[in-house]
Structure 1
């Protein structure tokens, strides 16, 4: 089975939108729900642990297992559903994700919660494999990075608003109430998608790019997928343990640490916007610049961990860099995999989530070492990631003329 063509050149949707931004808003809202739901166990670790009578480490394991579920199922499930009409597939995976969230809210035991999370994880992988292509299909020619940034703003909003509000709600009304709220918002977005999202026509991909294996043979794509896994591995090696890094090593108070994490999220809005605005002009240069900014922010964080003013600057720059990274990486994948966007995105999603799980495990293995060493450790995979990303320059298509 071949993936449908969902690029700037794919042509207009079969049914035009009366309000062009409405479909993008639906996609962004669904991303907000998906990311918020994915990370809810992090903020509600203690309430879930106390209620279900399991260790907090087992609740935390749900996040790692979730990431590996996405990483291992995204590519095969996306390949299996490649012939499905795009809107039907989007509606199906969104409904499956909502069902998994409802099951999580209704869980009376740890195994039932794990089943709900597993269902969400399988739906999550396919969702992320198609959402950027869907957004690109709604974009004007040459505006795929900008459109992707608009949709990915839902990710930044989830980090800044969704997870903190979900945590507060869970502590007030119970953790199940937080999952119920996420499910309700997801079902509302599902209803809006049915009304506002257009159908996207299926197009046959050329034989050389058909299937998952064929997508990896597209010039530059394998290197970009590898760079993605390495970059996310480095990031989550630090980010998973950023609270003890800031609180214990940098000596920030709990209130100050919370404010720094909010600053990180707010800086993410700027990074998402910059990635979208600049990515359409010089996509490869912006990608390399984003990786360099991320490396620089980690160097500054490692060097200034006991110099609080510089640590604040480092956290802000880190937030800008990592928020811009998914926009530039996803846009690069869509460019390199223009003839098989869903298959290319599936590999990207798998690499991204394997990087999340691997980074969390790496940080955990290093937790017995001084936590101040984590930023320096995270730099190790960033060096080959930069090399892999740089090596794809010749494969990048020229941006269409305006």
Structure 2
């Protein structure tokens, strides 16, 4: 995993490389970025739709959260297994197959007349999601010249933030206007667009060497790698135990209407983009300091939101702080992992994706149990325990980062 630097000379080299880059190379990058947007939109769509799925299919909100849990678990399994299983198959055909699976999953979700069928569609989606990030996350280095790799990778990863914008905020709004079927119809249309873009613009991407299974252990074999994986797991479990159920919280506890909730979720993710850029300007601080500050800010805001949501203005302020901190968290975690195991890039990315997705899955599952058992407001409060645990693990880590 590599990250852009802020060095001026590097920026000049990158700019020169970009100007010399063939148009077809950038079209290929944008095709993968479109796929990233659609995968992330589809992943987060149920968060905005949670209330409508619960009411329309006669299941509890905790049970509806399985639509986030199930694909997360499947993605966690699929990422390492597909990274190894695709062997030396041309990556163009792998990505096209995953894009086709996304079309099928969204079609099934759109046509679902029961919660069980909708859940099957989400399971198929989870397989495609894990495979896409295991193969597609680092594909930028195969599409452009060396000096443009950082920019190409940042364009692809921008799809995560854009997908969160569309999936969470637009999901809430479309669910209010057109229902669950309309929301998944939108996802289906976008997934067809993604497939067509890749079919038109992706070049052949042959590989010379299949990834051996031992490459997955590169991060695990380092002390900082193990610490990072555990901190990541705890922090993201707490994050998604809360975020999966933020829509019912904003409706039931803060009494916002559907249009306001959509705007709040849009702003949450937009502010998160700012958090991502802020991290880039704080490279002088140690990664450990940045990680501790980010986790502390995130769960501090979450705790105050759960226990002291006394006014709409206060809720909006805390949602902004929460969004800013979460926007920074994935990037700080990636930097930590890259420093922990610089020689285990492809296998490291697969394990990173697997850990990320299983954290989403178990977090949303745990959050659902808390919501059904305690109510949405108290459930958000208990999510802070995961953040405290992550900070304690980080505090006892004395290795240089």
Q: What range describes the TM-score normalised by the shorter chain of this pair?
A: 0.7 to 0.9
Q: 377-386 or 226-235, which moves further after superposition?
A: 377-386
Question: Residues 308 and 46 (structure 1 numbering): CA distance in 2 closer, same or farther, change over 3 Å?
Answer: closer
Select 1:25's aligned residue among 27, 30, 33: 30
Where does structure 1 lack aligned partners over 5 or more consecutive residues? 1-5, 397-402
Q: Distance in 1 between matches of 2:140 and 2:398?
A: 24
Q: Choose the corresponding residue for 2:128, options 123, 131, 146.
A: 123
1:333: Cα distance to partner? 3.0
- CA contact 1:305–1:311 (8 Å) conserved in 2: yes
Equivalent of 1:192 in 197, 205, 210: 197
2: CA distance between counterparts of 1:132 and 1:199?
Answer: 17
- The question of whether the paired residues in 2 share the 8 Å contact of 1:24 and 1:150 is answered with yes
Please, which of 345, 349, 356 is the counterpart of residue 349 of structure 2?
345
- For 1:46-85, what aligned pairs fall within 5 Å after superposition? 55=59, 59-85=64-90
> C-alpha deviations, 1:283-341, integer Å up to 9, x for none?
55543432233233234434632254333221101101112212232343344344332
SS in 2 for 1:220: helix
The offset of 1:354, in angstroms, is 2.0
Cα separation, partners in 2 of 1:240 and 1:117, compared to 1, 3 Å: closer
User: How far did residue 189 of structure 1 move?
Assistant: 2.2
Check if 1:292 corresponds to 2:296.
yes
CA contact 1:265–1:319 (8 Å) conserved in 2: yes
Match of 1:361 in 2: 365
Q: Hey, what does 1:314 align to over in structure 2?
A: 318
Q: CA–CA distance in 1 between the matches of 2:363 and 2:242?
A: 8
Structure 2: segments with no counterpart, 5+ residues: 5-16
Tell which deviates more after alignment, 319-328 or 249-258.
249-258
Once the two structures are TM-superposed, the CA of residue 358 in structure 1 deviates from its matched residue by: 2.1
TM-score w.r.t. the length of structure 2 is: 0.78
Shift of 1:65: 1.8
Give, in angstroms, the shift of residue 374 of structure 1.
Answer: 4.0
* 1:221 match: 225
Q: Deviation of residue 180 (structure 1)? A: 3.4
Residue 96 of structure 1: aligned partner: 101
Instruction: Tell me how far apart the structure 2 counterparts of residues 17 and 338 of structure 1 sit (CA, whole Å).
Output: 30
- Alignment correspondent of 1:262: 266
Equivalent residues, number: 385
Can you list the C-alpha shifts for 1:244-295, whole angstroms capped at 9, x where unaligned?
4344444556655444333212212212333455569965554343223323
**In structure 1, the residue corresponding to 2:137 is in which secondary structure?**
helix
Q: Residue 139 of structure 2 aligns to a residue in which SS?
A: helix
CA distance in structure 2 between the partners assigned to 1:25 and 1:254 by the alignment: 32
Cα RMSD of the aligned pairs, angstroms, is: 3.9
